[in-house]
Structure 1
């Protein structure tokens, strides 16, 4: 990981061992100034995401091999985006309140968690595409 990635993880108090990769969000082939942190293991997903009491607009999390998501341990509403294996958005949840769960998506593969109101800010919708760009190419 480069210096920028290390500083980001340090600021969020996330261990490098818990992270699969980090990069910039790419929305329909357009680079967006949002850092995405992909977490490796299921148990780290919730502890790393929920301990950040207030989400920053420039940071999001991606969970792989996920069919649904819940906000049971969260302290604030978040935006949730469900994508299939081809990175196509199949569902969005704007300002999803705490203590709620998404529907189950049989074709779901990636779940992105953003600060609330980011779906509207980024103009995300179903049939859009979300991927992650490597820092070295930006």
Structure 2
């Protein structure tokens, strides 16, 4: 999933990924690590609340449903290294990290992969000042 996200992001750069990797001048190595760093409790958002309306006085109130959930806090790190095929000389390297709650829309692996690869490869081929932190 992360390799696909990186490849899709590279398609928006002036460099074209070739279908046969043996013909390319450069090789991109994609490394991903994920670590759980605790648990976060989700608050009651509008989708988890019961809404009650009364027609006489226009009274409308929202009652909590008590459906708080615990989600793992996942630290995901994406590192992309671009090397010359002929001698493995590193020509570009970047790293981006994000922390997201699992089981949420923003914590979906495809969303995380897209967010990290987009943020990281926005810099390509310029060198990064250091690792990126992606909200």
- Name the one with the larger strand percent: 2
TM range (shorter): under 0.3
TM-score by length of 2: 0.26
TM-score by length of 1: 0.25
